[in-house]
Amino acid sequence: MSDKRKKLQVSALKNGTVLDHIPSEHTFHVIKILGLENSKNPIYIGNHLESNKLGRKGIIKISDKYFAKDEINKISLVAPKATLIEIKDYEVISKTQVEIPEHIEKIVKCFNPKCVTNNQNVETKFTVITDHHGRMKLKCHYCEKTMAKENIEFL
């Protein structure tokens, strides 16, 4: 038996973005929050792939698409260790790990039904905090309620 490894080959992107190191359980959530299910661009999706970093991971490759800052912020809330790789003319032009910003605006709904943002035409604003257990939470600028990652609902 040969020691050669067998790998599935996927076409290289001429132009576009690769989202790598997505926790497997969040791959399809990232697709949903970015609205990629409605994209007309070619998309390659891999899930439960072997990863030295995560054990198992997801990867999304999308042709002719580069993500705006608010989209990257959404990714960071769901997959904070994801890698964003931008490609032009088959060359990697940037490779960065997404970063959770200190403040989130206009992309997440406050879970407090009495919050002014849910009752008037006021855009949402949150401060990203870490609780005493090291878990990321969002604190509403207006009502000051704190919500856990699992309560995040994207606008």
Looking at the chain, the whole-number percentage of residues with pLDDT higher than 90 is 81
Residue 5 belongs to a domain? no
Give, in degrees to the nearest 5, the angle at Cα 154 between 77 and 70.
Answer: 60
DSSP annotation of 67 reads: -
User: Does residue 2 or residue 31 have the better pLDDT?
Assistant: 31
Residue 60 belongs to a domain? yes
Same domain, 110 and 87: no
Other CB atoms within 10 Å distance of the CB of residue 101: 16
pLDDT-based confidence at 12, cuts 50/70/90? confident
Other CB atoms within 10 Å distance of the CB of residue 87: 20
Same domain, 54 and 120: no
86, 94 Cβ separation under 8 angstroms: yes
Please give the pLDDT value at position 9: 59
Domain that holds residue 129: 103-154
Same domain, 108 and 79: no
Residue 72 belongs to a domain? yes
**The pTM is what?**
0.83
List, in sequence order, every beta strand (DSSP E) within 24-151: 43-51, 55-63, 83-88, 91-97, 103-105, 108-109, 125-130, 136-140, 146-148
Same domain, 89 and 109: no
Same domain, 107 and 121: yes
What is the number of structural domains in the chain? 2
pLDDT-based confidence at 1, cuts 50/70/90? very low
Over the stretch 51-75, which tens digit does the pLDDT of each residue have? 887 789 999 999 999 999 999 999 9
Please give the pLDDT value at position 50: 87
Chain mean pLDDT for the chain: 91
CATH number at residue 57: 3.30.70.140
Same domain, 88 and 43: yes
Over the stretch 108-151, which tens digit does the pLDDT of each residue have? 999 999 999 999 999 999 999 998 998 999 999 999 999 998 89
Q: Which of 97, 113, 129 is the last residue of a domain?
A: 97
